[in-house]
Amino acid sequence: MRKYSAMVLYDSIGQTYRATRRADPRIAAAILDALGNAASVVNVGAGSGSYEPPQTIVAVEPSRVIIDQRPRPGAPAVQAVAERIPLRDQCADAAMAVLTVHHWSDVEAGIAEMRRIARRRVVIFTWDPQLFARFWLLSEYLPEAAEVDAAQAVPIQTLTDLLGNAEIRPVPVPHDCTDGFGAAYWRRPRAYLDPTVRAGISTLAKTTPDALGAGLHRLANDLRTGKWQHNHPDLLHLDTLDVGYRLLVADF
């Protein structure tokens, strides 16, 4: 059922996904570095292909709406879910997954599939839900969204257990991050008042407007009065912030 809900969600928000979810070059560089010298890559839960390296041979994505937004030319895309990847064993040097595991109906099956198709390495970009729960947007303004995130996020320990000997690499978020995922606007709080921005963030898109209303109203007021700036003076001078995003790198 969770898989069906994720497909419905992305068929909806995917209509404007590329408007707010453009690859950030610094995060892209971190992902590329994690892939190492892999000459061939399968991108699982590929979305619109934002972080796909040039050596990608196949993209796996369940949403037809998002597949139709993929740039051309680019790697061929197959409409399929992570739990059942229609590719042969060890078909690529590496398999990668970017901000997608929280939408899989069966994480254990999805990781097993990534390990099956990868000859040498699996790279996963995700977040640590324990750290992300402390992010000011959730902890101070949108506790209802925090509950949604807690329900959908996959603990880092779960992923490292499934991957085996995985290296965990922190990925600080730049203050001007061009990829509008959950904490991308940590120094640009006014962006969260934009419904188009919120539509591109799955945690907020899955939280009902009624549940978000009061918190967003308080945020708007705090920005207008300067209370948010008074409460977060440290953020205004930072270039990057560790909000819990992590790269997991596993070799076999």
Q: What is the pTM of this model?
A: 0.91
Give the pLDDT of residue 18.
62
Give the pLDDT of residue 100.
95
Which residue ranges form the domains of the chain, and what is each CATH number?
2-251 (3.40.50.150)
Give the pLDDT of residue 2.
39
Give the pLDDT of residue 70.
83
Residue 187's contacts (CB-CB under 8 Å, 6 or more residues apart) are: 175, 235, 236, 238, 241
Give the pLDDT of residue 1.
32
Residue by residue, pLDDT tens for the chain (252 residues) are: 334 344 545 555 555 556 778 899 999 999 999 999 999 999 999 988 889 999 999 999 998 888 988 878 889 999 999 999 999 999 999 999 999 999 999 999 999 999 999 999 999 999 999 999 999 999 999 999 999 999 999 999 999 999 998 999 999 999 999 999 999 999 999 999 999 999 989 899 999 999 999 999 999 999 999 999 999 999 999 999 999 999 999 998
Give the pLDDT of residue 154.
97
